[in-house]
Amino acid sequence: MKKITITSQFSAYNSLQELPTDIQDLMEQAVAVRKNAYAPYSKFRVGAALLLDNGKIVLGSNQENAAYPSGLCAERVAIFHAGAVYPNAKILKMAITAASDTNKTIAPIPPCGACRQSIAEYETRQETPIEIYFMGETGDIYKSDSLKNLLPFMFDKKFL
């Protein structure tokens, strides 16, 4: 038996003001669209904003359904919309923010596993990494240079 060590590296920003200006704008749009989330069951609102290589910004918020798990996370709403409307565009950057209606979220909240797999599909398809910035309602913002930091053993088309 041998042991395998995997490390991931993230950048941490203390506030929105510490982010590069274009990322501040992207995160502010994610915060704004987070308010449009339909989250009557979880009371957990998520907003996502994608910057595409054509300069377009695509937004998404989580949309729940009483018939779990028929709802969709904000990240996948935005990614799938980008794929449908701008099929040849690459996703350069993604900003994600989450807030709870019942308690303050201050820790950076990363994408769930299903969203990580969906982001992995697009990152693999476009053959370039996607910068991912994520935060709670307030507090630190983490940046990953690629989805591979969040999902080091990505399942992709090469396994099929």
pLDDT digits (tens, 9 = 90+) for 57-82: 999 999 999 998 889 999 999 999 99
Does some domain include residue 99? yes
The pTM score is 0.95
Is residue 131 part of the annotated active site? The answer reads no
Does some domain include residue 32? yes
Does some domain include residue 160? no
Model confidence at 156, pLDDT cuts 50, 70, 90, reads: confident
What are the pLDDT digits (tens) for 78-101? 999 999 999 999 999 999 999 999
Do the annotations mark residue 63 as ligand-binding?
Answer: yes
Other Cβ atoms closer than 10 A to 136: 17
Check 75, 123, 127, 131 and give the catalytic one.
Answer: 75
| CATH number, domain with residue 97 | 3.40.140.10
What SS3 string covers 69-108? Answer: CCCECHHHHHHHHHHHHCCCCCEEEEEEEEEECCCCCCCC
Do the annotations mark residue 12 as ligand-binding?
Answer: no
Amino acid at 24: Q
Residue 71 belongs to what domain range?
Answer: 23-135
Spatial CA neighbour of 130 closest among 35, 24, 121: 121
If one counts the domains in the chain, the total is 1
Do the annotations mark residue 67 as ligand-binding?
Answer: yes
Does some domain include residue 74? yes
What is the Rg, in whole angstroms, of the alpha carbon atoms belonging to the chain?
15
